[in-house]
Amino acid sequence: MSAHAGNLSPGQLPAWIDIGVLPVLNVAMALIVAGIIVALIGADPWEAIYWLVQGAFGSGYAWGYTLYYATSFIFTGLAVAVAFHAGLFNIGGEGQAYIGGLGAGLVALAGDSFLPAPVLLPLAVLGAALFGASWAFIPACLQAYRGSHIVITTIMFNFLASALMVYLMVDVLIEPGQMSAHSREFAETAWLPTMREMLGLVGIDMADSPLNLSLLWALICCGLVWVFIWRARLGYEIRATGLSPSAALYAGIRPARVTLIAMALSGALAGSVGVNEILGLQHRLLLDFVAGAGFTGIAVALMGRNHPFGIVLASLLFGALYQGGAELAFEIPTITRDMIVTIQGLIILFSGALAYMNRPWVARLYQYIATRRSGAGVPAHG
């Protein structure tokens, strides 16, 4: 490795700066701007951080909520990342998650009267993935065969998902005799066991929280995505297409096929949010249960640099922000939970859109230090 470090051209930096220093610097800048906003509205940023951390990690109950939020973000973060690797920007995670929840809910509503849980739950998980995948598959087909831009079509499909769900919940699936738009509650065979129940089986006591088995499924998905993207032939084709569509085409990779597969997988992952929300927590179909998780996935993927490990870390941060933010809003009423939305936007700005802003001066600083250390004007070994 160090043999290469000495041969870096002026534009290149050692991997630990590109993967370690720059991303942390970008997130730090986003958090500093957030701190300035908090100070501007007359609150103490340090006190805010204290309540945020306290709210997110201060008790078993807090941990449960933090991890429950993180679960959804792992799914949507992976969804954005898989599409990114193919050079596609899937903005439609929100809609795919919504429709994924519908898939899980329909399976649960259809089968909870006669199927036992060990059969029903895997079917419902599959339903979420399939419905999410198909909602992403249509824009993928339009991109692959008709040349319509995936960013625009996935945005449109978010709104279409929302309209479809309003129609289904208000006019079709609504619980008879009820005014509010939600379905009947599923029978308990369709409830995904909570972590508290599962850990209770092996004698570990845990505070009650919405955290459920979906977290395990999310972590398994991380592993599967890693194997698929970096160890499987199809994953190689996806990455090759993302890096250089023309080179991939020349190598005999069919771009249309890559678009379809990457988007279907992306949609299936986003759809799995429905497992966490519908099977894990709500136990019925309802409106707006995705609550922005699809958009958080964009921030998570950018921050985690599209790698499952980074995505788990970023999801944990956002889970902590969501849960801690609720506590923070309670302790310091001038800071509402919308501050978390702002931080999310700032992280997308600094880690995504302005990702290259800091690179030139960090590169100059590195060159300067390296040159001084070697003392001869030749870039030093890293």
Partner 1 sequence: MDDLFYLGISTLAATLRLATPLILCAMAGLLSERAGVIDIGLEGKMLAGAFAAAVTAALTGSPYLALLAGLTIAAALSLLHGLASITYRGDQVVSGVAINIIAMGLTVVLGNAWFGRGGNTPDLNPEQRFMPLQLPGAADLREVPLIGPFYADVVSGHSLLTYLALLLVPLIWFLLYRTRFGLRLRAVGEAPAVVDTAGISVLRLRYSAVILAGLLCGLAGTFLAIAQNAAFQREMTAGRGFIALAAMIFGKWRPWPAFFACLLFGFLDAVAIRLQGAVIPGIGPVPVPLIQALPYILTVILLAGFIGKALAPKALGRPYVKER
Q: What's the closest the beta carbon of residue 89 comes to partner 1, in angstroms? A: 5
The rounded distance, in Å, linking the Cα atoms of 236 and 241 is: 8
Q: How open is the CA angle 266-142-294, to the nearest 5 degrees?
A: 30
Cβ nearer to partner 1, comparing 110 with 151: 151
Q: What's the closest the beta carbon of residue 236 comes to partner 1, in angstroms? A: 24
AA letter at 163: A
Q: Which two tokens stand for residue 223?
A: 């592993």
Q: Footprint of partner 1 on this chain (CB under 8 A)?
A: 37, 41-42, 89, 91, 142, 146-149, 151-153, 155-157, 159-160, 163-164, 166-167, 170-171, 295, 298, 302, 334-336, 338-346, 348-349, 352-357
Helix, strand, coil abundance in the chain, percent, nearest 5 = 75, 0, 25
Contact between 85 and 114 under an 8 Å Cβ cutoff? The reply is no
Q: Which two tokens stand for residue 20?
A: 């370690």
The rounded distance, in Å, linking the Cα atoms of 33 and 37 is: 6
Query: On the CB side of 159, how many CA atoms lie within 13 Å of its CA?
Result: 4
The rounded distance, in Å, linking the Cα atoms of 360 and 305 is: 19
Cβ nearer to partner 1, comparing 193 with 345: 345
3-state secondary structure (DSSP) of residue 187: coil
Q: What's the closest the beta carbon of residue 189 comes to partner 1, in angstroms? A: 32
Q: What's the closest the beta carbon of residue 55 comes to partner 1, in angstroms? A: 17
The rounded distance, in Å, linking the Cα atoms of 74 and 218 is: 6
Q: What's the closest the beta carbon of residue 66 comes to partner 1, in angstroms? A: 20
Cβ nearer to partner 1, comparing 5 with 156: 156
Cβ nearer to partner 1, comparing 160 with 253: 160
Q: What's the closest the beta carbon of residue 251 comes to partner 1, in angstroms? A: 24
The rounded distance, in Å, linking the Cα atoms of 47 and 331 is: 10
Q: What are phi and psi of 182, to 5 degrees?
A: -145, 160
Cβ nearer to partner 1, comparing 42 with 377: 42
AA letter at 8: L
Cβ nearer to partner 1, comparing 158 with 272: 158
Q: What's the closest the beta carbon of residue 224 comes to partner 1, in angstroms? A: 26
Residue of 162, 167, 194, 160 lying closest to 181 (CA atoms): 167
Cβ nearer to partner 1, comparing 21 with 155: 155
Neighbours of 156 (CB within 10 A): 16
Cβ nearer to partner 1, comparing 164 with 224: 164
Crossing angle of helices 308-331 and 45-57, in 10° steps, is 110
Q: What's the closest the beta carbon of residue 332 comes to partner 1, in angstroms? A: 10
